[in-house]
Amino acid sequence: MATEATEGAHGAAEATAAVGMPQLDFSTFPNQIFWLVVTLVVIYLILSRVALPRIASVLTDRQGTIANDIAAAEELKLKAQEAEKAYEQALADARAEASRIAAETRAEIGAQLDEAKAKADAEIAARAAESQKRIEEIRAGAADAVAEVARDTASELVALLTPGKGDAQAVSAAVAARLKG
Amino acid sequence: MATEEHGAEGGLVFHPMDQFLVKPLFGGHEVAWYTITNVTLWMALAVVCIALLFVMGTRRRALVPSRTQSVAELAYGFIYKMVEDITGKDGLRYFPYIMTLFLFIVFSNFLGLLPLAFTTTSHIAVTAVLAMGVFLTVTILGFVKNGPGFLSLFWVSAAPLPIRPVLAVIELISYFARPVSHSIRLAGNMMAGHAVIKVFAAFAPLVLMSGIGVLVTPLSILAITAMYGLEILVAFIQAYVFTILTCVYLKDALHPHH
């Protein structure tokens, strides 16, 4: 039914379709060619007046922007390299300065230390000498005291053993001789 | 023809060529040169699509393009590079002309793949006008640019002298065969693919009529799908081939001495 309806509607078209290929129906050629030419002209105008110049300008702009960006990046890279170099230099300077200060300080402290040591040594030597002197004095004092005690003790013993015959002079001489060895 | 097949297959309807009929859109059967037909409609749709992609798509002139703008720029770059590579810098003057041809063909081919669409590029009348346009332009341009020197295109100086006249005849024949092959290649590819899809489509409802349809229907649906995929490829390749040949012919006109 549907086919009958379409066939009815096609009527005239069927007659031409009987040829087989609608492509070879020359009666439609002027129509197709006319509309094709119109279409091509319209497309050409749209492209050449609006679309293509616009795209071309966008592409050129983009190219320019990219080139500029690359140049700027290149410049920044150079700057960064310079900055790095300056930083390295500053770091090296700082290191040298620091080691110099350290050496100086070490030398100063060493000098101070030596001075203090010398002073301390001198003081110690002085104290030791003083002490030595006092020890000598004490020792001398002790030897005198021993001699006196020995003399006294000897005179007492002599007086006790031989009363009235003690000669103080002789006793002390004997003691002194004995003490000497 | 149609009625014979109609009878033989018992209910199947074979009209593979009906899709190519040129019909007036608003009634009547006469197709005069000014009649608004389905040709007008589908060509207008191609124009609308091109305008949408290339005018609306690029209207923001974005430095970082949107998707549509990217596609437009890609198409621009594709054809621009092709023209530059093949014809050289002096061929770039004709870039808008070649771009027009490419876009018209590629959009007509793809619009023709929509179901129920009319494929304007499947008609020899259309492709012949395109090819003749290229042929005449190139020939006239060749003589305008090179004068009689354009004829050296047919005089193959690389060949030995005795066979040059023979080669000249062959070159001359092949030169005049250019517009024929140029136009029939495009129309033939478009027409054949669409007709084959239509034939498979006619077999598809067989399952409703006979038992063998259980086998035939899935096969024909598979075949339609496969053909459709192939046609998508062909739609682009034929537009590409038409354009690249136009560039090659243009190169011959600009530099006939190789």
**Under DSSP, is residue B37 helix (H, G, I), strand (E, B) or coil?**
strand
CB contact under 8 A, A42 and B47: yes
Query: What pLDDT, in 10s, does the model give residues A12-21?
Result: 444 444 457 8
The tokens describing B212, both together, are 């063998």
Q: Which residues of B123-148 are buried (b: 16+ CB within 10 A; e: fewer)?
A: bbbbbbbbbebbbebbbebbeeebee
- Give yes or no for a contact between B16 and B199, defined as CB atoms under 8 angstroms apart: yes
Dihedral (Cα; A36, A41, A46, A51), 10-degree rounding: 90
3-state helix, strand, coil in chain A (%, to 5): 90, 0, 10
Pick among A3, A54, A55, A69 to test the B interface (most B CBs inside 10 A): A55
Q: Which residues of B206-233 are buried (b: 16+ CB within 10 A; e: fewer)?
A: bbeeeeebeebbeebeebbeebeeebee
- Whether A6 is covered by a domain: the verdict is no
Q: What is the mean pLDDT of residues A58-73?
A: 94
Using 50, 70 and 90 to split pLDDT, how confident is the model at A181? low
Task: Please give the Cα distance from A40 to B43 (Å, whole number).
Answer: 9
Query: What pLDDT, in 10s, does the model give residues B93-140?
Result: 999 999 999 999 999 999 999 988 999 999 999 999 999 999 999 999
Q: Which residue has the tokens 């020359």?
A: A26
Q: Is A32 exposed, middle or buried (0-12, 13-18, 19+ CB in 10 A)?
A: buried
Cβ atoms within 10 Å, residue B94? 19
Q: What is the mean pLDDT of residues A98-104?
A: 96
- Selection from B46, B25, B50 nearest residue B35 by Cα: B25
- Whether A71 is covered by a domain: the verdict is yes
CA angle A11, B114, A29 (to 5 degrees): 45
- pLDDT value at A166 more than 80: no
- Residues 14-73 of chain A whose Cβ lies under 8 A from any Cβ of chain B: 16-18, 20-25, 27-40, 42-44, 46-48, 50-52, 54-59, 61-62, 65
3-state helix, strand, coil in chain B (%, to 5): 75, 0, 25
- Whether A13 is covered by a domain: the verdict is no
Give the least confident one: A60-74, A133-147, B73-87, B170-184.
Answer: A133-147
Residue A129: what pLDDT?
Answer: 94
CB contact under 8 A, B43 and A36: yes
Q: Name the residue range of residue A56's domain.
A: 28-180
Q: What backbone torsions phi and psi does residue A164 show, to the nearest 5 degrees?
A: 75, -5
Q: Which residue has the tokens 């517009």?
A: B179
Cβ contacts of B69 on chain A, cutoff 8 Å = 58
Q: How many structural domains comprise chain A?
A: 1
- pLDDT value at A3 more than 50: no
CB contact under 8 A, A18 and B1: yes
- Whether A11 is covered by a domain: the verdict is no
Element (H, E) at B110: helix B95-112
Q: What backbone torsions phi and psi does residue B37 show, to the nearest 5 degrees?
A: -115, -175
**Under DSSP, is residue B136 helix (H, G, I), strand (E, B) or coil?**
helix
Task: Please give the Cα distance from B67 to B133 (Å, whole number).
Answer: 33
Query: What pLDDT, in 10s, does the model give residues B194-212?
Result: 999 999 998 888 888 888 8
- As a whole number, the mean pLDDT across chain A is 85
- pLDDT value at A119 more than 50: yes
- Whether A75 is covered by a domain: the verdict is yes
- Whether A23 is covered by a domain: the verdict is no
- Could you list the mean pLDDT of each consecutive 10-residue stretch along chain B, which spans 258 residues? 43 80 85 89 96 91 89 94 94 94 96 92 94 95 90 85 90 94 94 92 86 87 94 96 95 84
β-bridge mates for residue B24, sequence order:
B37
**Nearest-CA distance A14 → chain B (Å):** 9
- Whether A108 is covered by a domain: the verdict is yes
Q: Which residue of chain A comes nearest to B20, CA vs CA?
A: A22
For A102-135, give the DSSP string: HHHHHHHHHHHHHHHHHHHHHHHHHHHHHHHHHH
- Give yes or no for a contact between A33 and B129, defined as CB atoms under 8 angstroms apart: yes
CA B38 to centroid of chain Cα atoms: 18
Pick among B30, B68, B84, B126 to test the A interface (most A CBs inside 10 A): B126
Element (H, E) at B96: helix B95-112
